[in-house]
Amino acid sequence: MRRFLVILATALIGLPLLAQADNDVPKKPAKRTEAPSAKQTESDKASRRTADSAKPPLTITADEEAAAVAFVKQHHKDLFELLIHLKEGLPQEYERAIRDLSRASDRLAQFEKRDSGRYQLELQLWQAESRRQLLTARLQMGYDESLLSELREVLKEEQNLELAVLRHERERLAGRIAKIDEQIAMEENHAEASIERKFTALAKAAKNSERNVNNKTRKPPARKNTKDPTSIWSAATCRRFSPWCEALCSGSKIDRQRLKKILKR
| In the chain, where the domains are located | 2-24+55-183, 232-264
For helices 77-89 and 2-24, what crossing angle results, to 10°? 120
123-155 pLDDT, tens digit each: 999 999 999 988 998 888 887 888 899 999 999
**What pLDDT does residue 89 have?**
82
Q: Quote the strand ranges of the chain, DSSP E.
A: 249-250, 253-254
153-180 pLDDT, tens digit each: 999 999 999 999 999 999 999 999 999 9
Average pLDDT of the chain to the nearest whole number: 75
The phi-psi region of residue 251 (left if phi > 0; otherwise alpha if psi is between -120 and 50; otherwise beta) is left
Rounded percentage of the chain residues whose pLDDT exceeds 90: 35
Size of the chain, expressed as the number of residues it contains = 265
Q: What phi and psi, each to the nearest 5 degrees, are found at residue 58? A: -70, 145
**What pLDDT does residue 253 have?**
47
User: Which residue has better confidence, 76 or 253?
Assistant: 76
Residue 106 has pLDDT above 50, yes or no: yes
Q: Is 182 exposed, middle or buried (0-12, 13-18, 19+ CB in 10 A)?
A: exposed
Residue 215 has pLDDT above 90, yes or no: no
- Region 77-94 average pLDDT: 85
Contact between 168 and 176 (Cβ < 8 Å): no
Residue 201 has pLDDT above 90, yes or no: yes
Residue 33 has pLDDT above 50, yes or no: no
User: Which residue has better confidence, 230 or 165?
Assistant: 165
> Is the pTM higher than 0.85?
no
Q: Give the range with max mean pLDDT: 15-19, 30-34, 156-160, 246-250.
A: 156-160
Residue 38 has pLDDT above 90, yes or no: no
